[in-house]
Chains A and B, each alone.
Chain A
Amino acid sequence: MSQILKTLTPFMEINKEFPFASPIKEWKQSGGKVIGFFGGDIPEEILSAAGALPVWLRGHCSEIPLDDANSYLHIYTCSHMRSILEIALKGDYNYLDGVMSTPYCDGSRRMFDVWDRYIPIPALFFLHTPHKNTPEAEAYYYENMKEFVTSLESTFQKKVTKEALWDAIKTYNQTRKLFIQLYDLRKKDNPPISGAEVMEIYDASAMMPRKDFNILLEKVIDEAKTADRKLDSGHRLMINGTALHNPEYVKGIEDLGSIVVADSLLNGAMGFSDLISEDENTDPLLAITRHYLNKFPAPRMVPSEIRFDKILQMAEDFRIDGMITGVVRYCAPHIYDEIRLSKRFEARGIPSLRLDLEYGMAATGQIKTRVQAFIEMIEERKRKG
């Protein structure tokens, strides 16, 4: 593979500093508040409009022993949540001024409970989120959003103004617009950026102020556009699954003769593919409410067909040869989602592979064998036409 994109360096440097990266440190030093969250349906725009820096909590990009976390959460809870908890119990998330969650999945709910009971934290926020998108659900969700704003205002003693909300919406939309540009570049025959590199960008996006992030992301896109960098496409894969963060996992897949050109990851395309309406005649909070109900749905949302159609459309747009789903054990929503999704892929003649992962792991021997055989199978299918 050709040299890594130069403009990725700042992101990679930030990722090396996980969990207390320098942009977060600088934010704290200038007196700003930091709210950590987990779950893919957190309206970061609201946290940002309240003057806080939202940080998407995650675990290390390695399989660490979860000794402390296992004392608080049953091992049936996904290793993703337990990995976050392990860091919190070790005190490495002590810089947080608050933690926020939604009823995203059982794992995240139980971890929130543990945080509530056992980990000292100045503030906790919980936003009830519906599982479906109906007028009643929207009304319910909107009321909850308002309550959430009120609790933020009383905690931080600061009014969340409409202007601040619109400003945050525009900033976060700018990120989405940039990602959409980046995704378009990945649709090319020889994409100028690898899946592992995109993972570095995703990881950094969770640990820095969005305005700064947008400036850096724009530079990456400029370089990717102009550098005349054409990665050998091999076979075009899409990666799916819960939140995955380890670029080495993606690199392991790509090193076996493929390029990851698309994803439907919680921390990736699921959050960056759809824009919030910027119609300033509406209430910004309502715009946010509608966005989070309408955006690329996670497996927790029903009916599932909306999600499946979206992913299948991506498979077509990105001309993928195969789909690899990484299921972090024991992520129940994704396990059942994968089975139904893979059937729909097979019906379209696109092979799919499920990998059982522990959170944080790179591509180990067992994974490499499965991926290599999968790529060999794709090769055979293509050869036969």
Chain B
Amino acid sequence: MPVAGIDIGSRTAKAVIMEGDKIISSHIGETILKGPDVGIAVLNESLKLAGLKLSDLESIMPTGYGRFQFTGGEKHVSEISCHARGVHWYFPTVRTILDIGGQDSKAIKCDSNGRLTNFVLNSKCAGGTGRFLEVIADILEVPIEKLGELALSSRQNISFSTVCVIFAKTEAINMLREGVPKSDIIAGLHDSIAKVAASLLVQLTVEKDFSLTGGVAKNSGVVAKIKEKIGLEPMIAPDPQLIGAVGAALFALDRAKRRRTA
């Protein structure tokens, strides 16, 4: 029977439906628009895509910041464990994961079974996360999905003195006034994000096969900067934003299996 993993993050909610060892559908929705029901809303969308009903699901595993509010699922698992599990499903050799989400970034280590062995998170502040990029994209009037592409065309290195969203915003506005091209400003900000990420990774040991997850991994500009800082080519899943939900679905499969054999 199919199962679902739902990752309710601070900015988006993601649902993945799996059957056996295959993803049969997925959906991403914005958290802000749907309020507390966002988990069930993205689940319903992915059920529709798969042509299934809620009652067809054998198990639902919620994760992410919204997991406490989600009712009707399994006893939840943290998104940190879900990222480790999800990445391992795609890339079994990966032992180090960097997840840059909407409001936090995490460096995660896992073992050969995809089980969590260590992790470090950024501090309380959302500097150097997806939210940081959203604020800047808004100021520069660039669609968020175009940021990466634009940054790659940058001609000069600009370094921001901070990853604080508020201060970086001020710096970016000043640069715009001075006529610095948007592509250079964006590349500079991507560099800041990569620095935060690298400083998290330094606290753990990076092994060669490492993966980037989270919505920010969709940004080619940030990926390029991280590659530069770490000196390694990251392995990135087809949709890195879905990894937490994939991991949750895998935990849902475990729970369903455990019940069947119990």
Q: Write the residues of chain A forming the contact surface with B, with a CB cutoff of 8 angstroms.
A: 329, 351, 356, 358, 365-366, 368-370, 372-373, 376-377, 380-381, 384
The answer to whether B78 touches A356, judged by C-beta atoms less than 8 angstroms apart, is: no
Q: Mark B71-87, 1 if CB is under 8 A from A, else 0.
A: 00000111111000000
State whether the Cβ of B55 lies closer than 8 Å to any Cβ in chain A: no
Residues 204-220 of B at the A interface (beta carbon under 8 Å): none
State whether the Cβ of B104 lies closer than 8 Å to any Cβ in chain A: yes
- The 3 A-B residue pairs with the shortest CB-CB distance in the complex, in nearest-first order: A373-B80, A372-B78, A373-B78
Q: Write the residues of chain B forming the contact surface with A, with a CB cutoff of 8 angstroms.
A: 65, 68, 76-81, 104, 111, 115-119, 121, 123-124
**A356-B123, A356-B124 known; A369 and B116 CB under 8 Å?**
no
Nearest A residue to B10 via CB reads A365
What are the residues of chain A within 8 A of B76 when measuring CB–CB?
Answer: 372
Of B111, B119, B123, B124, which one neighbours A373 at CB under 8 angstroms? B119
The answer to whether B77 touches A376, judged by C-beta atoms less than 8 angstroms apart, is: yes
Least distance between B9 CB and chain A CB atoms (Å): 11
Nearest A residue to B123 via CB reads A356
**A373-B81, A376-B78 known; A365 and B65 CB under 8 Å?**
yes
The answer to whether B116 touches A366, judged by C-beta atoms less than 8 angstroms apart, is: no
The answer to whether A380 touches B124, judged by C-beta atoms less than 8 angstroms apart, is: no
The answer to whether A380 touches B117, judged by C-beta atoms less than 8 angstroms apart, is: yes
7 contacts between A and B (CB under 8 A): A369-B65, A369-B80, A370-B121, A372-B76, A372-B78, A372-B80, A373-B79
What are the residues of chain B within 8 A of A376 when measuring CB–CB?
Answer: 77-78, 80-81, 116
Least distance between B204 CB and chain A CB atoms (Å): 12
Least distance between A192 CB and chain B CB atoms (Å): 25
Of B104, B118, B124, which one neighbours A377 at CB under 8 angstroms? B118
Least distance between A143 CB and chain B CB atoms (Å): 43
What are the residues of chain B within 8 A of A384 when measuring CB–CB?
Answer: 111
Report the Cα distance A377→B118, complex, angstroms: 7
The answer to whether B117 touches A377, judged by C-beta atoms less than 8 angstroms apart, is: yes
What are the residues of chain B within 8 A of A369 when measuring CB–CB?
Answer: 65, 78-80, 121
Of A351, A356, A380, which one neighbours B115 at CB under 8 angstroms? A380
Report the Cα distance A376→B65, complex, angstroms: 16
Least distance between A248 CB and chain B CB atoms (Å): 14
What are the residues of chain A within 8 A of B111 when measuring CB–CB?
Answer: 380, 384
Of A351, A366, A368, A372, which one neighbours B124 at CB under 8 angstroms? A366
Report the Cα distance A72→B93, complex, angstroms: 54
What are the residues of chain B within 8 A of A373 when measuring CB–CB?
Answer: 78-81, 116, 119
Least distance between A370 CB and chain B CB atoms (Å): 6
With A373-B79, A377-B118, A380-B111 given, name 13 new contacts (CB 8 A). A356-B124, A365-B65, A366-B104, A366-B121, A368-B68, A369-B79, A369-B80, A372-B80, A373-B80, A373-B81, A373-B116, A376-B77, A381-B117
What are the residues of chain B within 8 A of A377 when measuring CB–CB?
Answer: 81, 116-119
What are the residues of chain A within 8 A of B118 when measuring CB–CB?
Answer: 351, 377
Q: Which residue, B68, B104, B115, has most C-beta atoms of chain A within 10 A?
A: B115
Least distance between B101 CB and chain A CB atoms (Å): 11
Report the Cα distance A377→B111, complex, angstroms: 11
What are the residues of chain B within 8 A of A366 when measuring CB–CB?
Answer: 65, 104, 121, 124
Report the Cα distance A121→B233, complex, angstroms: 64
Nearest A residue to B83 via CB reads A373
What are the residues of chain B within 8 A of A329 when measuring CB–CB?
Answer: 124
Report the Cα distance A351→B109, complex, angstroms: 14
Nearest A residue to B116 via CB reads A377
What are the residues of chain A within 8 A of B121 when measuring CB–CB?
Answer: 366, 369-370
Report the Cα distance A380→B68, complex, angstroms: 22
What are the residues of chain A within 8 A of B104 when measuring CB–CB?
Answer: 366
Least distance between A104 CB and chain B CB atoms (Å): 25
Report the Cα distance A358→B68, complex, angstroms: 22
Report the Cα distance A365→B124, complex, angstroms: 11
Least distance between A366 CB and chain B CB atoms (Å): 6
Report the Cα distance A368→B115, complex, angstroms: 19
What are the residues of chain B within 8 A of A368 when measuring CB–CB?
Answer: 68
Report the Cα distance A367→B252, complex, angstroms: 24
Report the Cα distance A376→B85, complex, angstroms: 12
Nearest B residue to A257 via CB reads B75
Report the Cα distance A98→B111, complex, angstroms: 57
What are the residues of chain A within 8 A of B77 when measuring CB–CB?
Answer: 372, 376
What are the residues of chain A within 8 A of B119 when measuring CB–CB?
Answer: 373, 377
Report the Cα distance A220→B175, complex, angstroms: 64
Report the Cα distance A358→B78, complex, angstroms: 22
Report the Cα distance A315→B181, complex, angstroms: 56
Report the Cα distance A384→B80, complex, angstroms: 19
Least distance between B102 CB and chain A CB atoms (Å): 12
Report the Cα distance A366→B121, complex, angstroms: 10
The answer to whether B116 touches A380, judged by C-beta atoms less than 8 angstroms apart, is: yes
What are the residues of chain B within 8 A of A365 when measuring CB–CB?
Answer: 65, 68
What are the residues of chain A within 8 A of B65 when measuring CB–CB?
Answer: 365-366, 369
Report the Cα distance A356→B123, complex, angstroms: 7
What are the residues of chain A within 8 A of B124 when measuring CB–CB?
Answer: 329, 356, 358, 366
Nearest A residue to B124 via CB reads A356
What are the residues of chain A within 8 A of B123 when measuring CB–CB?
Answer: 356
Report the Cα distance A384→B65, complex, angstroms: 28
Report the Cα distance A232→B121, complex, angstroms: 29
Least distance between A199 CB and chain B CB atoms (Å): 22
Report the Cα distance A351→B117, complex, angstroms: 10
Nearest B residue to A375 via CB reads B78
What are the residues of chain B within 8 A of A372 when measuring CB–CB?
Answer: 76-78, 80
Nearest A residue to B103 via CB reads A366
